[in-house]
Structure 1
Amino acid sequence: MSGRSKTPERALFLGQRSTTHLSNGGPMSFHIEKINILSDLYGYSPSFNQICLHQLTINWNGPIVQLKFDLHEFPSKPPAKWGAFNTIQVDLSIFPLSLIRVEKFGEGNICNIAIDKVRDNLFEINVTGDSIADIHGSHIRIEKLSAYLNNP
């Protein structure tokens, strides 16, 4: 396998279809609904590392988890209507849930979000950093993308 890890590599939104490699070295593609919104805005797919996690909401109707977070970087060519802003906020939904474990929800909340496809119709979302959570669900969708002026 020359250099391939025995565990799945993290697939952090690498375009509309993301690819991760299994322990046997074969690719496994999966779809994250509306991911093209981010790649169209940035011209590439931004990382979900060093995000600022504002909110983790659990709702029985689904059941569903919604994550609201700021991306670490702002696009170099934002839409004209976002010219005065400096922060992109993403609302991400994971549903229906098969597991949720929240170990802590921190202050400041700088985190990394990693997404793995464990098997057909099962994603594992790991939040690490100031907050720690494991979320398992069948679907992942970007619900909303917005911009605002964040004063440092």
Structure 2
Amino acid sequence: MGWIDAATNPQGIMEIFGDDTPPLVGVSLHEVIVGRDGPTLRLRLDLPTYPASPPVKWKRGGFNTVQVELLFGGLTELSLRGVSTHMLVDVDIEANRGIILQVKSEMVNVAAVAASVTISRMEAYLDSERESVSVEDVRDKP
């Protein structure tokens, strides 16, 4: 079971990526936001690959990066250690009597337990520091 299976609303990601939903490995973490209402935790991150057949609007924009915001609702535990200006992390989301979140890198560690995870936002943009990397490019590499 992957991270997408734990989300309450995987349809949007699945429509764009199909069966090639990228794992959350080596993702760029932009934000960690804790809200008292709920309480909630939001993670904003760039997916590691770009879809092979992106929406027309994304093609016209020349975009190369998909960014998602994951909202963890009903937060009951949270641990955050470390911070950096460039956070490449591995994210593990497991549904097991709630949602268990682990975000790990050499610089940053986040652990949380929540009642649910929702994809609250998904958009594409042009990251000038990133080459265009599609799902097909990753699959073809040895």
Rounded to whole Å, the distance in 2 between the matches of 1:13 and 1:65 is 16
TM-score by length of 2: 0.83
Runs of 4+ in 1 over 6 A off after TM superposition: none
Match of 1:77 among 27, 38, 53: 53
Q: Aligned ranges for residues 1-152 of structure 1 at < 5 Å?
A: 11-13=1-3, 18=5, 31-44=6-19, 45-83=21-59, 84-119=62-97, 122-129=98-105, 130-152=107-129
Tell me the secondary structure at the aligned position of residue 58 of structure 1.
strand
Query: More strand per residue: 1 or 2?
Result: 1
Secondary structure at the aligned position of 2:76 is classed as: strand
TM-score (norm 1): 0.78
Gaps of 5+ in 2: 130-142
What CA distance in whole angstroms lies between the structure 1 residues aligned with 2:33 and 2:53?
31
What is the aligned length? 125
Percent identity between matched residues is 22
Query: Aligned partners of 2:11, 2:108: CA distance in 1, in Å?
Result: 27
Higher helix share: 2
CA shift digits 1:30-74 (9 cap, x unpaired): x42111211210112221111100000001011000000000100
Q: Which has the higher contact order (CA 8 A, sep 6+)?
A: 2
Amino acid at match of 2:3: F
Which structure 1 residue ranges, 5 or more long, are not aligned? 1-10, 19-30
